Structures are given as C-alpha cells and as structure tokens.
A and B are shown apart, each in its own frame.
Chain A
Amino acid sequence: LFSNEEIMKMSVLQEINPNVRNMKPLEYSILAGRLSQIKEELRQGVKKPYQEVLDVYMGDPHKGGVKPLSFVRQVLAACLYPQLVNSSKLPADVRQRAQRLLGRCDGGSVGSYTATRGIPETLIRVSEFITRRDGGVPSNPENIFLSPGSQWSLSILHVLLNPESSPRNGVLSPVPCHNTTTMSVTGLGAVVVPYYLSEEQGWELQVEELHRAMESAKGVCNPIALYIVNPGNPDGHVQSRKSMQEVIRFVSERKLFLLADEVYQDYVFGENSEFVSYKRVLSEMGPPLSDTVELASFHSASKGWMGECGLRTGYMELVNLDPAVMKHIFTMFSTDTCAPVLGQIALDLMLNPPQPGEPSYPLYHMETQNIKNTLAGNGKRAVEVVNSLPGLCCQPLEGGAFAFPKVYLPPSFIQKAKEAGLEPDTFYCSRLLDEAGLLVGPGTEYGQKEGTYHIRFCILTSAEIMEEVLTRLTCFHKQFMKDFS
C-alpha cells in the first residue's frame, strides 16, 4: 500500500495494460532516435562522410525514390478538386474515372464516410479483380472489407483471439516475419508460436517445421490460426503450389484459421517463381477442403506498382466463414466507420488500371514496366553485391520488397554490442547509420535462428538509390570486417 504522498506523486497511469507492456519494443526506435540526431547534425553543417541519410528501413517505395503513378495521382487530384474534372488539363479517361468515382461518394465528395466495408462499386471491382487474378475462381463482394491499412490485423485477429481464454490462444507465425502482426498478437494477449523458415533452402517453408511448432505450443497455448506471408517479408521467398497445398492440408487437419498476407503479390521476379493466391490453390484442391478451410487473405494499396503507403488502405477477403461470425465482424468494422476514401479510390484504380486504347494507358504501362524492371534489377544487383562481400550471404530473391542477408558478426563485435546494451545486429545497424548514413533494419526486429544475425533493406527503390545503398554498404562492411576480424 502507498502512503498518501506516494499516491499523489504516482502517475495514474503507472499500471497499464500488461498486454501492451509485453509487446516487444521496436529496435527501430533505438535507430530512429539516432537518425533524428544525425539529420539535425547535418542540418547544422556538421561534417560527415555523407550529405544525407539513406533510409531503406521500411518497405516504402516513394521514400526510396520510386515515383507515384501519374494516372492514380491525376484521378485523386480530380476527386479532391472536382473543378479539374471539367478542365482539359487532365486526360479524358482520368476525368471520366474521377467523375464516376465521385458519383459513388455521398454528396459527390471524398470527404463523406462510405459504407462500412467500403464503396459498394469498389467492392465489386475488387471481387472482379480477384476472380480475374485467380483464373475464374468466384469472389463474393459481400466477403470483402476495405480497411485502413494494417488495421486489418486488428480486426480479424480481434475476432479470432479470445483474451479471456485459458490456455491463451496462439498464432503460428513465420520466423523471420515483419513485426506489426506479431506485435498485434501479443497486444491482444495471445501467444506468438514461431515456425522457422529454412534459410539454407532459400527460406522455404517445410511442413515438418509446422508440426514441430504445434508440438512446441503444447502446454503453452492453444494455437487457433496460422499466419503466412507470401511473397515473404523480409525473406523474399515465393511459395510453390506444392508447399501451399501442404499448408492448406495442415491447417485443415489441425483446425487452424489461415491468415494469408499477400500484399507483395505483384513483386515476383525469380526465374521460376509465380505468385498464386491461397484462395486459388484452395479452390483448386476441391471439396471438402475448398468448402471448409477458413481463410482471410490480405492485399494493400501500399504495395503493387502504386506503392501508396501513406494512403493507408487495404482489403481483406474472408472465405468460408460462419455467417453468424461475419455479422459480428461487420459490427466491429462499423465502429471505425470506414477506410480513408482516397485510399479506397486508389485501390479501385490499382485493381482496375487503364486498358490498351485508353489515353492514359501508354504512360501507365511505361511507368509500371519501369518500376517492375527496376525492382527485378535491384533484386539481382543486391544479391550480387551482397554475396561478393565477405561475411554477408543473401539467399536468392524470388520476390517481395526486401533483401535479408545473413551477416557474420565476429565475437569481438558481439562483445562490444553487449557492452553497449544492444543486440549485435542492432549495433551493426547503428554503426552503419553513423558511419555510412545508411539506415537498414536489424534481423532481431524480424526474428532469426539463435546465433544468427541479419539485416533487412528495401529493394523497391530507384536504381540510383539502390546503387548508392549498395556502395555505402560495401564500403562500410569492408572496413567493418577489417576492424573486427
């Protein structure tokens, strides 16, 4: 018990939600602090071996120098300022699209709320896109929800995970994995059950590992869902159909809900790789699996060739869910009213781009091809350069937006890291930031096998920036190896 005086001094908030406390803090916050300092120092004219910091920590193409798509931005501008619809400054198809889209907004304004799951006609467009993509597998617009970006993880996880259950719920999650989902799982009072991707096999998923993960959960928690990212983040692996079928059989046998994060589906450049959606594979496997496996798949306006991370919009398609549960999901969704309208419009455009014959097509085609080729080129170049450096090893990149090479850290360096109170790879990243002005993510942030270290950097950048990133990395790493061997 506290004395009155102590109560007076003690913050009301000292006791906060333990689930929030348990969320692992981001390694990024350590580096972000230093990043701010360095930027300030540069502004004040402090001399450094670089003029500006290159930040390739996040999967953010625009930050990395990739230009927004003209068509998308023109339509958004016309929707924002409808006077542009009548001006000849914009191509005819842009103006038509804007007009049509505005007609679907209440009051003809992007400032109104939309229906809970999203603009109805856009939901139809999304379902048509999914059907086209999946070779004709039908998609019901009633099962599609547009959401404010990664909020999806909160809505479906929120329904799946019962914070009052004992034993606690668990979600099988890949290692390595981008961290927002795992943070959400912890934040909702559930347990992350890791399954390790096989680095030496190009980060492949081996179903035996899923079995092992389930075993490891015994006595710890009750796994109810499996989360999978394809193409992988940060690993860049694109799953084979065979592997996907194994996963589907596994979730069916083990009664797990399947969460398929497919936001990088456009980024496939490996020679023998092809993206196939979980929904399509499921459908092709036929009943009973196709009728029973419960699946949520996710896509986002942040990725694709549009790369509009800042608009914060994505969609979720739910398959084979209990209709009674769907009603509750809808109610939950409605409390957040709707996804940002500009993002909904951008998604509509992304999945329904200009077609040959339309005025915007040539430019649109050129811009998207350019980004596609740049990405493939960057992927190749990154692996080439990284693998030429001693102590760095990158698996072949088949897709996704990142390179995730393994870094060998000498014992003397690991010791120094301990002294600095940092994870060894975070320490490596902080030195890379300080000395080379290059910000990348430490493997600790995403998970890795004990005793191994990695770094993650975005390859969805302009070619020039990629080259500069690799140059700085090369320079720094060579010196690093000299200093610490």
Chain B
Amino acid sequence: MFQISVQRVTAAENNNNNNNKNNMSHQAANGVPCRGKVLTVDNMNPRVKKVEYAVRGPVVQRAVQIEKELREGVKKPFTEVIKANIGDAHAMGQKPITFFRQVLAMCSYPELLKDNMFPEDAKQRARRILEACGGHSIGAYSASQGIECIRQDVARYIEKRDGGIASNPDNIYLSTGASDAIVTILKLLVRGEGCDRTGVMISIPQYPLYSAAITDLGAVQVHYYLDEANCWSLDVAELRRALNAARQHCNPRVLCIINPGNPTGQVQSRQCIEDVIRFVKEEHLFLMADEVYQDNVYAEGCKFQSFKKVLFEMGPEYSSTVEMASFHSTSKCYMGECGFRGGYMEVINMDPEVKAQLTKLVSVRLCPPVSGQALMDLVVNPPQPDEPSYTTFMKERTAVLAELAEKARLTEQILNTVPGITCNPVQGAMYSFPRITLPQKAIDKAKEAGHIPDMFYCMKLLEEEGICLVPGSGFGQREGTFHFRMTILPPTEKLKVLLQRLRDFHQRFTQEFS
C-alpha cells in the first residue's frame, strides 16, 4: 500500500479498505469510485488458500514476534527463544565442513586458488568445478538438468553407496533442494477429474511439504498410518487398506515414503522396504523415496539401505519394472547446508516419453543454483583416504554425527521420564515426535477458543518457556492423539535446558488442567 495515499483517506474509509475482501466498490477520498481488488481471496487459486506449512506456521511466527519483543527489552520468563522447530543445523550452532567451504570460497573467488592457505585437494576440486561452468564462473547458468560432470559424480556416488548397482547420469536431475524435485515429480503426475483424480499416498505423520504440494496441485491425499506402537514402522496391510479405501474416490498412482522418517525418525528395515517394493509393483504405483536423511542413522541395529539398492537386489522382475524416484539434499546429513538449496533426484525405469516431459518441465526454472550443485558435487566426492584433507574431514563428519546420535538418545531418554509424554526411539533423521497426553479440560479449553489442542499446548509452551516446537497436527496424527515435533539440533547444553523446561511445563500444564 502506498503510504502517501493512505494518509488522505479518512479513518472509516481506511477501515473499509483494510477489510475489503470482496469486489464491493467503495468511495475514495476524492469521490471517484474505486473498484474492488482484481485479486481477492474469492477469485484467487482456491487450492493455495488451503495450503498450510506448520514448520513455518503460527507458532513460529509468534516466536519471531517474541524474539523481537525480547530485543526491545520486554520482560519475559525467559531470556531467549529456543527454536527447535526447523531442521536447520547451522542455525543451532553446528559448524560447516571446512573442506566444503574452502572449495566453495575458491569457486566464488578464484584468485584464492593462488593462495597457499588452502590444501591442494580442495584446489583441485574447485578447478574441476569451474572448468565445467560457463565462462568458468559459478555465476553462469548451467544446463537445466544440472552440470554434466556433477551428475556423473552423483551417479558414481550412488553406485558406490549401493554396492555397485549401476547408475546412469542421464537419470540424475540436480535440483533446488530436494523439495523442488519432489514437487516437480508430483506436478508431472497429477491429472484427471473427479474419481479419476490422482491420489498420492503419504504417511501419517509426514513432512508437510507433501501435504502442501498435494493440496496445491489439487491431488487427493491418501494417508497410510505409521504404527506408533511399533516404533513408527510401516505395515503393508495398512498400505493396502488405505489404497483400497482410496480407490473408491480417486485414482491412486503414487506412493511417497520418507526414510529415515520425518518427523518420526524411524529407519525402515530391509524387510519393510522389500514389502513396499512388492506392494508398488502389484498395485502399479510410482514410488517416491525421500532419502534426505540417509547419513543420519543413530540407533544400534539400524542401517540405511536405499530403495534402489533393495529394488535391484530383488532381481529383474522388480528392478526392470518398478518406476521410482529417489531424492537427496545438501540440507541435512552431516553437512546441514540448508541455505545452499542443493539436491538431486534419480529416476529409475521412467518411460522415455515421460522423461522427455520431465526434462521439459525442469527447463522452465532454467537451472538449480550452481553453488548448490557444486556443494552436492563435494558431498558425493569428499576427500579420499590418500588426500590431505581427509583426516580433518572425517574428524568433522564423525563428530557431527556422533553428537547428533548422542542428542537423539538424550532426547528420547529424558522425554520418557515425563509422565504424560512417550517418545519412540529416535533411530535417525533430526527430530523427535513424542506423544503427549492432554487432560480433557485442556482439550475442551482449546476447542472453546477455536484451537487445535496441540497447537494450544505449543503456544502456551512458547509463551511460558520460550520454547518453539511444532504441533503434531501440522504433520498428521491419529484422531484423538496429540504430538509435537522438536528437533534434536540445539547444542547439547541448550537441549538439556529445553528438555528440562519442557518437563516442568508439561507437569504444570497437566496440573493446571486437571
């Protein structure tokens, strides 16, 4: 709104302006009839209105406000807000991997290649990346599928990770974070009207990018419940139930699975992965495997295995027919470089005609950020044992993952000492999704105020303790149950403070509403 003009309008008209949500015309100050807005809540894309994204939703927005108030000197029962809402490791003090940043600094300012403050292996990688860039600059557009030699490196990494199973660089699409690739695939697949409308199967609970994208694209969300009593494991019988019910009103074509899970942290067993693969083959579904937390595995006895690896180990009957895409990102694992928006997807057994359409679709956004592509190149091509940076690199990587593992264990342990909170083991990823028991009085009070009970809980926790978590309703949960998602990312001491305050708060809350 232009500040100059608003001053000329009377208070009543100003009120009218601000409340103008439909196409009614109103008079401006100088008597000339004003039209209503061209773009209103009534005529805008209705799907966008339904989109929600709890990770940056109302609790977080209030937290930002509170931080502002604290800065302005407003007195509160706490001196800082501990933000455990988003999977952003660096924001919580995790340090970047030195090697990666050295290479990227040289890519950015190649003059530094002449400097002896940087090791030779870092310089070599920087030179190689720059060589592959237009005009030898990370500021040039790349091919829309991503820089070719980087896609080759990604393919090699996948082969190595998966025990030698071949990966074709042409099937690799670099992307702006994994989110970009996930939304692109969904965009490609969603079609049909009425009962033929594409159904997308996604877990409850899930990372709300999926529900947001499904809503935005007007697809039908088909949810399958993870089994909280069994460490959030996936049961094929439940997949079948969900699918059959969905076939009554839509055309389910996609199954999305997040492994390791977000928000649940479970690491799927080999058996489970095989079961899912058999299921998608039988039911003729496209499989989307979100594997961005593949390095974040902490629990004893748990091991990450890629869907692709298992698929190929099941033999040609499956490996030549099941169509899937797997996703990875530079935002998580041990590097935590969210701000670079680096990622990739690998597509398997995609119909060549469909792949041509995919290639066309990604060309619209020109190309993913080149610095993110460069970073992904380093992630898949880290220092080797015979290279100068290896020791430091491994030390840093191991330290980050060890600390995360310890914090995962600590979180589970402390939360389980609180009566009314039960926490499944955090087997992987970066979050805990404990179940909270809320007294009936609290549930009633929340509903009276028009709030979802776990939102009410989280808001109160924020106001009283300065802790920012995300209500479980933002991720989905069984009817009548309540949860919250917290990250395990704050530094250990702060995490302990958080858990302690949470314990105190929960006990107080339970008493207050008993």
Contacts of B48 in A (CB 8 A): 158-159, 328, 331-332
CA distance A410 to B301 in the complex (A): 73
Q: Which residue of B lies closest to A157 (CB)?
A: B45
User: Which A386-426 residues sit within 8 Å CB-CB of chain B?
Assistant: none
From the candidates A17, A290, A292, A323, name the one contacting B18 in the complex (CB within 8 A).
A323
CB distance from B504 to the nearest CB of A (A): 27
Contact B367 A331 (CB under 8 A): no
Per-residue interface assignment for chain B, residues 126 to 143, with 1 indicating a CB less than 8 Å from any chain A CB and 0 otherwise? 000000011101111111
CB distance from B66 to the nearest CB of A (A): 15
A17 with B191, Cβ < 8 A, contacts A12-B253, A111-B336, A291-B34 known: yes
Contacts of B140 in A (CB 8 A): 60, 62-63, 309-310
Identify which of A87, A114, A307, A312 gathers the most chain B CB atoms within 10 Å of its CB.
A312
In this assembly, does B398 line the interface, its C-beta being within 8 Å of a C-beta of chain A?
no
From the candidates A81, A89, A149, name the one contacting B102 in the complex (CB within 8 A).
A81
Contacts of B51 in A (CB 8 A): 328, 331-332, 335
From the candidates A64, A84, A89, A109, name the one contacting B339 in the complex (CB within 8 A).
A109
CA distance A335 to B453 in the complex (A): 23
CA distance A17 to B217 in the complex (A): 10
From the candidates B41, B106, B372, name the one contacting A322 in the complex (CB within 8 A).
B41
CA distance A154 to B48 in the complex (A): 12
User: Which A118-148 residues sit within 8 Å CB-CB of chain B?
Assistant: 137-138, 140, 148
Contact B53 A77 (CB under 8 A): no
Contact B357 A20 (CB under 8 A): yes
Q: Which residue of A lies closest to B368 (CB)?
A: A312
A116 with B115, Cβ < 8 A, contacts A324-B21, A338-B339 known: no
Contact B364 A184 (CB under 8 A): yes
Contacts of B364 in A (CB 8 A): 23, 150, 180, 183-184, 187
Per-residue interface assignment for chain B, residues 73 to 98, with 1 indicating a CB less than 8 Å from any chain A CB and 0 otherwise? 00000000000001011111111100
Per-residue interface assignment for chain A, residues 322 to 338, with 1 indicating a CB less than 8 Å from any chain B CB and 0 otherwise? 11110010011011111
From the candidates B55, B105, B134, name the one contacting A60 in the complex (CB within 8 A).
B134
Contacts of A113 in B (CB 8 A): 86, 88, 91, 338-339
In this assembly, does A14 line the interface, its C-beta being within 8 Å of a C-beta of chain B?
yes
User: Which B39-73 residues sit within 8 Å CB-CB of chain A?
Assistant: 39-41, 43-49, 51-53, 55-56, 64
A138 with B4, Cβ < 8 A, contacts A149-B366, A309-B139 known: yes
From the candidates A66, A83, A283, name the one contacting B135 in the complex (CB within 8 A).
A66
Contacts of B176 in A (CB 8 A): 148, 151, 312, 340
Contact A111 B338 (CB under 8 A): yes
CA distance A138 to B361 in the complex (A): 38
Per-residue interface assignment for chain B, residues 1 to 18, with 1 indicating a CB less than 8 Å from any chain A CB and 0 otherwise? 111110010000000001
Contacts of A112 in B (CB 8 A): 88, 90-91, 338-339
Contact B188 A20 (CB under 8 A): yes
CA distance A111 to B89 in the complex (A): 9
Contact B338 A337 (CB under 8 A): yes
Contacts of A89 in B (CB 8 A): 112, 115, 117
CA distance A339 to B101 in the complex (A): 19
Per-residue interface assignment for chain B, residues 345 to 382, with 1 indicating a CB less than 8 Å from any chain A CB and 0 otherwise? 00000110110110111011111111110000000000
Of the 9-residue stretches B208-216, B291-299, B387-395, which lies at the interface with chain A? B208-216
Of the 9-residue stretches A68-76, A230-238, A361-369, A466-474, which lies at the interface with chain B? A68-76
Contact B38 A256 (CB under 8 A): yes
Q: Which residue of A lies closest to B20 (CB)?
A: A322
From the candidates B32, B34, B139, B143, name the one contacting A62 in the complex (CB within 8 A).
B139
Contacts of A334 in B (CB 8 A): 53, 55-56
Contacts of B369 in A (CB 8 A): 148-149, 310-313, 340, 342-343
From the candidates A78, A162, A339, name the one contacting B45 in the complex (CB within 8 A).
A162
CA distance A215 to B370 in the complex (A): 43
In this assembly, does A13 line the interface, its C-beta being within 8 Å of a C-beta of chain B?
yes
Q: Which residue of A lies closest to B23 (CB)?
A: A255
Contact A16 B41 (CB under 8 A): no
CB distance from B291 to the nearest CB of A (A): 19
Interface residues on A, range: 35 or more
Contact B360 A111 (CB under 8 A): no
A331 with B52, Cβ < 8 A, contacts A60-B134, A291-B34 known: yes
Contacts of A32 in B (CB 8 A): 143
Contact A164 B46 (CB under 8 A): yes
From the candidates A77, A111, A322, A337, name the one contacting B39 in the complex (CB within 8 A).
A322
In this assembly, does A351 line the interface, its C-beta being within 8 Å of a C-beta of chain B?
no
CA distance A481 to B469 in the complex (A): 70
Q: Which residue of A lies closest to B31 (CB)?
A: A288
Contact A13 B188 (CB under 8 A): yes
CA distance A312 to B356 in the complex (A): 24
CB distance from A99 to the nearest CB of B (A): 15
In this assembly, does B482 line the interface, its C-beta being within 8 Å of a C-beta of chain A?
no
CA distance A138 to B3 in the complex (A): 7
Per-residue interface assignment for chain B, residues 180 to 201, with 1 indicating a CB less than 8 Å from any chain A CB and 0 otherwise? 1000000111111000000000
Contacts of B1 in A (CB 8 A): 140, 291, 319-320
A12 with B141, Cβ < 8 A, contacts A73-B108, A113-B338, A328-B49 known: no
Per-residue interface assignment for chain B, residues 470 to 514, with 1 indicating a CB less than 8 Å from any chain A CB and 0 otherwise? 000000000000000000000000000000000000000000000
Q: Which residue of B lies closest to A32 (CB)?
A: B143
User: Which B401-416 residues sit within 8 Å CB-CB of chain A?
Assistant: none
From the candidates B34, B94, B102, B253, name the one contacting A107 in the complex (CB within 8 A).
B94
24 pairs across A/B with beta carbons < 8 Å? A16-B354, A17-B187, A20-B357, A26-B363, A29-B359, A60-B141, A63-B141, A73-B108, A81-B101, A81-B102, A81-B104, A84-B105, A107-B91, A112-B339, A113-B91, A158-B216, A159-B45, A163-B218, A183-B363, A308-B139, A311-B371, A321-B39, A340-B339, A343-B369
**Contacts A80-B108, A288-B28, A312-B367 supplied; 19 other A-B pairs, CB < 8 Å:** A13-B188, A17-B190, A20-B361, A32-B143, A107-B92, A107-B94, A109-B90, A110-B340, A111-B338, A138-B4, A159-B39, A160-B39, A162-B45, A310-B137, A310-B138, A322-B39, A335-B208, A342-B339, A342-B371
Listed in ascending order, the chain A residues whose CB lies under 8 Å from chain B are: 7-8, 11-18, 20-21, 23, 25-26, 28-29, 32, 55, 58, 60-68, 70, 73-74, 76-78, 80-81, 83-84, 87, 89, 105-107, 109-116, 137-138, 140, 148-151, 154, 158-164, 180, 183-184, 187, 224, 252, 255-257, 283, 287-288, 290-292, 294, 306-313, 319-325, 328, 331-332, 334-343
Sort A-B residue pairs by CB-CB distance and give the 5 closest, nearest first. Answer: A63-B134, A310-B370, A341-B339, A106-B91, A11-B351
